[in-house]
A = this chain, B = another copy of it.
């Protein structure tokens, strides 16, 4: 009854969220996609071109163009690993998952190269219990406040290297090997700390067939435990990722 059997089964391992958690029903974890949003160095902004008008034919329409890894977007395993799972081949059951939010905003305010560590995962557990099976684990670094000044979001140094928080490679490996997660997300432009030249978190997550979501919004509005996330992943054939609508059910 209620069409919620599957969701309930997914969420049943999650402990109760903190008493003060907001309860708004559906929380949008997606940034509005505009040409002004920061993109990874070397990537172009999205473009929109009108192709149909209400005045002639009764309908308006735009053509859209963007590189896949733009805005709040999915990283499919194929983004990192040749021949790995593409956007159209993700398991649909993996797109609805218990949402775990690991808050490193205090560290990130002091250090732009802050990372989620295994100790941060342990700290989350000590407060909220085990990481639920098949969870989606998101890093909240508070980075979106920098969108008022887009250059501080990417935060390039004088050599052109970005400095923004992400998962440490060790924490990413730990989540894959010990926590049976379906995917991981960040509120920055990279699963890795921007300054990691090895992209160890990308390799650990995507190399294990998990998906990533980058540039999440609004994670401060959801509880650290107890919500369910729905990843409205793109489904174009053969893709390596793409903009996606991410909703939290609280």
Contact = CB atoms under 8 A, between A and B. Distances in A.
Contact of A232 (B202, B233, B240): B233
Contacts of A59: 79-80, 199, 202, 240
Contacts of A245: 95, 231-235, 244-245
A171 interface: no
A2 B6 contact: no
Contacts of A227: 3
Interface stretch (A62-70, A103-111, A115-123, A144-152): A62-70
A54 B26 contact: no
Contact of A64 (B30, B61, B68, B233): B68
Given A26-B96, A61-B68, A68-B61, A88 B5 contact: no
A9 B3 CA distance: 12
A82 B54 contact: yes
Interface in A24-67: 24-28, 30-34, 46, 48, 51-52, 54, 58-67
16 contacts: A3-B17, A3-B228, A3-B249, A4-B249, A10-B25, A33-B88, A33-B236, A48-B238, A59-B199, A61-B68, A61-B79, A64-B67, A96-B249, A230-B247, A231-B232, A236-B243
Interface of A: 1-12, 14, 16-17, 23-28, 30-34, 46, 48, 51-52, 54, 58-69, 71-72, 78-82, 88, 92-93, 95-96, 98-99, 199, 202, 223, 226-228, 230-245, 247-250
Given A3-B227, A32-B235, A62-B239, 11 more contacts: A4-B8, A7-B249, A32-B236, A33-B235, A54-B80, A59-B240, A60-B240, A63-B65, A64-B68, A71-B235, A233-B245
